[in-house]
A and B are shown apart, each in its own frame.
Chain A
Amino acid sequence: MPSHATFKLWRTHPDGDGTFQTFHTEITEGMVVLDVVHKIQAEQAPDLAVRWNCKAGKCGSCSAEINGKPRLMCMTRLSQVNLHEPVTVEPMRAFPPIKDLVTDVSWNFRVKKTIAKFKPRPREADGTYRMPQTDVDRVQEFRKCIECFLCQDVCHVLRDHHKHDEFIGPRFLVYTANLEMNPLDTEDRVPDLKDKHNIGYCNIGKCCTKVCPEHIHITDNAIIPLKERVVDRFYDPISRLLRMVTG
């Protein structure tokens, strides 16, 4: 491993545009990209903006695009990137820039509120809820989500087509799946998925699954089963017929 590396960090200008600024810095074994960004911040650019928190891959704050790939800065070891070329670090591109590496992700927090909340069935007579582990395994996979929003960043519906007003994105389809598949839940979110949250916009490109740092099978385990629920409810010819008969 070399003793120095060159990093090109995205810097925004007061007019809102931005360019890469080049920094040369010393590196040591075991460092992650976030360490380098912090080192540059402490030694060369104290006003460099970067959002981070736990530095252990648990909070999902330090999402960025490293050499063009959406990743957590704290979980990207220098041994995983080519240090013989300058390493580029830039903000997530699917969200409005705030400053340097920081973007405005508040849209995600607004979207979550539009999803009907958890509505549990009553408790058992002894005051507990009984659920076998096998029934909660699939929900627990979705609940591993750290809300880094990297999946939202790569979703072409959001990134390229800017359908933020119509489509909730993979993160919130996972969130909806977590609620829908919770054995205690009694709410019905299928009509909203179809009409309000437009699950149909997803054409199963699986980009979201590829970038998930928690390795959640977003497309296969969350989105496709939800799509099936929508199809069964609204497009299945037999049940449509039944509905026509029974009203």
Chain B
Amino acid sequence: MAGYASYSYDVLIVGAGGAGLRAAIEAATAGVSVGVICKSLLGKAHTVMAEGGMATALAHNDDRDSWRVHFADTMRGGQYVNSWRMAEIHAKESPDRVRELEEWGAVFDRTPDGRINQRNFGGHRYPRLAHVGDRTGLELIRTLQDHAIHCGMTVHMEHTVIDLFIEDGRAAGVLAYDRERGRFHVFTAKAVVLATGGVGRAYRITSNSWEGTGDGHALAYRAGAELSDMEFVQFHPTGMVWPPSVRGILVTEGVRGEGGILKNSEGRRFMFDDIPDNYKPQTASDPEEGWRYTQLDKSARRPPELLTRDHVARCINREVKAGRGSPHGGVYLDIAWIKEKIKDSEDHIKRKLPSMYHQFKELADLDITKEPMEVGPTTHYVMGGIRVDADTQMSTIPGLFAAGECASGLHGANRLGGNSLSDLIVFGKLAGEYASQWAKEHPQAPVSEAKISAGIADSLRPFERGDAGENPYKVQADLQDSMQALVGIVRQESEMQAALTRIDELRERAANVGVIGHREYHAGWHTALDLRNLLDVSECIARSAIERRESRGGHFREDYPEKSTEFGAVNMMVKRGGDGRVQLTRLPITEMPDHLKAVIEEQKS
């Protein structure tokens, strides 16, 4: 058997995006020893790609904003299947978390009176997104990274976790390999925080980087933890569609926040044609009012382009299917038109949306200050994830915590733009705080040598099969195509059943993939090991999506196009059954306390 190196920490954080780094900072500050494992180099995690901003009710740009409005917006956006407690904590604590970033060196865009500037975004009633142009994710991760390196922690870069050890009924550590040499490492810890991000790589068209392979979701699932809301996958309405090699790369909602409009091939602004009833009171009645809203006129209501992402994505999908799409299968997103309204519109666009300008200029040879962009839906975010206690972020396995995209609850059926970055810092902090508290109160559970040996042996099988095995890239590509086609933006039972059959076939193929060569920085081997994670999360998504026989938020069923009261009262919970199959339970949503019900009511007008 291959040997391994051993490390021991009080708190081990898996993932160094926004949530992982924030958790690490909190734990290190609490005086416990902290190890951080990340798949990439420090500061490269997918958080870096977040563009528009982080939502928080600072009320700098509109003093009518408060945690109450933010809470109500988050619940409405999530179609009321969110954890109301998480939505409450998030709305109340995010202002402090954002202010604290300034103390750590973040430099947000400013209001005329010198405070943090906030911009409009879909589903948020008032301008709420603290931002830095359209590179807010970079600002967040760099700020946390630069602060964290002085807090006292050990960062293991380019390490990937392949097994999570549960001993004596609680988290005990992980098995990982390093990319550089392909050596194995065993990390024991009293508390483990999963902050591994999303699952976008289960789909063909995605805004996610290679890291989004659902590692934390799958590690927790295989270890017996409960996941919930896995049917809720967010398809961001605006991804690039051309050229093919960049298909799926995100085009920030900030473009629409700054006045960008959606048009079909007939030049029609189709978003005005379909405004859901519960958003009608807050939506502009004509383009002129919509424009005034984007220019921060407090008396105006938002344009329909800024309705929630699930709705906008479906409207785009409908236009394309009806033959009113752009040449490469998207629709037009036009910011150049604002030259009718603003004198120096070219400079204005470049200043407000610098990386979008750059991205289209460099990758598509298109000048967004002069021409409309072609955009279409792209797999962006999973609302579902590891089920956690709202106040402590502990999963259903003692000592195992989760925060950020790999946890579930805050966003319900649909996440509002900007709520992800604030999610990371609010719940990353809580996870770090309670993981360190847990580590102080509990001894290390011993990790069994047999499990370590088995984990290492399993992971080396692709080398044993060598040339005789199938190419892992082929299996990954086939899975992505299946999920894209059968469990995508518009779903129906027969297709999802077909997806489950395919997933079973792909599992057999995945068990027979082979790679040749040495273990050093071997992407083929890494892909082979990612497959089981992708397959596990795909099965959880498909099973949960079949069970939810209604349409809600990111989950749209052609065979059940309406919302149902029955399903509005439950979350889908999945865990691994004794037979190794997905075991699904409907969990009733606990009733919201009266003081929060009152907030929802007061914000309905």
Contacts and interface: CB of A to CB of B under 8 A. Distances in A.
Contacts of A144: 135, 138
A35 B245 contact: yes
Contacts of B471: 42, 46
B103 interface: yes
A41 B524 CA distance: 8
Nearest to A52: B210
A79 B365 CA distance: 10
A52 B210 CA distance: 8
A99 B42 CA distance: 19
The dominant DSSP class at the A interface is loop
Contacts of B115: 128-130
A132 B518 contact: no
A63 to B, nearest CB: 11
Interface stretch (A111-119, A151-159, A221-229): A111-119
Size class of A's contact patch? 35 or more
Contact of A140 (B132, B149, B243): B132
Q: Which of B41, B359, B364, B365 has the most CB of A within 10 A?
A: B41
Interface in A92-140: 98-100, 102, 104-106, 109, 112-113, 117-118, 120, 127-133, 136, 139-140
Given A49-B522, A53-B211, A117-B147, A146 B138 contact: yes
B359 A56 contact: yes
Interface in B327-365: 355, 358-359, 362-365
Nearest to B48: A59
B139 A54 contact: no
B139 A143 contact: yes
Interface in A18-59: 28-32, 35, 41-42, 46-59
A52 to B, nearest CB: 7
A99 B180 CA distance: 8
A207 interface: no
A79 B246 CA distance: 15
Contacts of A61: 40-41, 44
B46 A54 contact: yes
Given A57-B358, A182-B107, A48 B523 contact: yes
B339 to A, nearest CB: 23
Contacts of A182: 105, 107
A217 to B, nearest CB: 15
A231 B359 CA distance: 39
Contacts of B149: 109, 112-113
B102 A120 contact: yes
A50 B471 CA distance: 18
A179 interface: yes
A192 B210 CA distance: 39
Contacts of B114: 129-133
Contact of A53 (B44, B99, B242, B523): B44
A35 to B, nearest CB: 4
Nearest to B110: A133
Contacts of B49: 54, 56, 58-59
B364 A30 contact: yes
B604 to A, nearest CB: 31
Contact of A47 (B137, B139, B517): B517
The listed residue with most A CB atoms (<10 A of its CB), out of B42, B117, B209, B525, is B209
A57 B107 contact: no
Nearest to B527: A46
B65 interface: no
B4 interface: no
Contact of A29 (B117, B210, B243, B523): B243
A165 B63 CA distance: 52
B449 to A, nearest CB: 30
Given A30-B246, A57-B359, A105-B41, A47 B107 contact: no
Nearest to A46: B524
A14 interface: yes
Contacts of B41: 51, 61, 105, 109
Contacts of A99: 180, 520-521
A202 interface: no
A146 B45 CA distance: 12
Contacts of A41: 473, 523-524
Nearest to B111: A133
Interface string A6-26: 000000001000000000000
Contacts, number: 167
A47 B523 contact: yes
Interface residues of B, number: 65
B362 A42 contact: no
A172 to B, nearest CB: 12
A169 interface: no
B362 A117 contact: no
A102 B473 contact: no
A60 interface: yes
A48 B137 CA distance: 30
Given A30-B242, A133-B109, A50 B523 contact: yes
Given A32-B363, A49-B521, A99-B521, A42 B110 contact: no
Nearest to A61: B44
Contacts of B595: none
Interface string B203-243: 00000011100000000000000000000000000000011
A1 B469 CA distance: 36
B505 interface: no
B515 interface: yes
Interface string A188-206: 0000000000000000000
A117 B520 contact: no
B390 interface: no
B138 A118 contact: no
Contacts of B593: none
B578 interface: no
Given A98-B521, A140-B132, A75 B362 contact: yes
Interface string A140-176: 1001101100000000000000000000000000000
Given A59-B49, A75-B362, A130 B113 contact: yes
Interface in B351-389: 355, 358-359, 362-365
Contact of A55 (B142, B209, B365, B525): B209
A184 interface: yes
30 contacts: A31-B243, A32-B245, A41-B473, A46-B523, A46-B524, A47-B518, A49-B520, A51-B41, A53-B46, A53-B209, A55-B249, A58-B137, A59-B40, A75-B363, A98-B521, A99-B520, A106-B157, A109-B42, A109-B149, A109-B157, A113-B150, A127-B99, A128-B115, A131-B110, A133-B110, A133-B117, A136-B109, A140-B107, A143-B132, A144-B138
Closest 3 CB pairs of A and B: A30-B243, A46-B524, A130-B114
Interface of A: 14, 28-32, 35, 41-42, 46-61, 75, 77, 79, 98-100, 102, 104-106, 109, 112-113, 117-118, 120, 127-133, 136, 139-140, 143-144, 146-147, 179, 182, 184
Given A30-B364, A61-B44, A77-B363, 16 more contacts: A28-B245, A46-B516, A47-B523, A52-B210, A54-B46, A54-B209, A57-B358, A61-B41, A99-B180, A104-B180, A106-B157, A117-B147, A120-B103, A127-B99, A133-B114, A143-B107
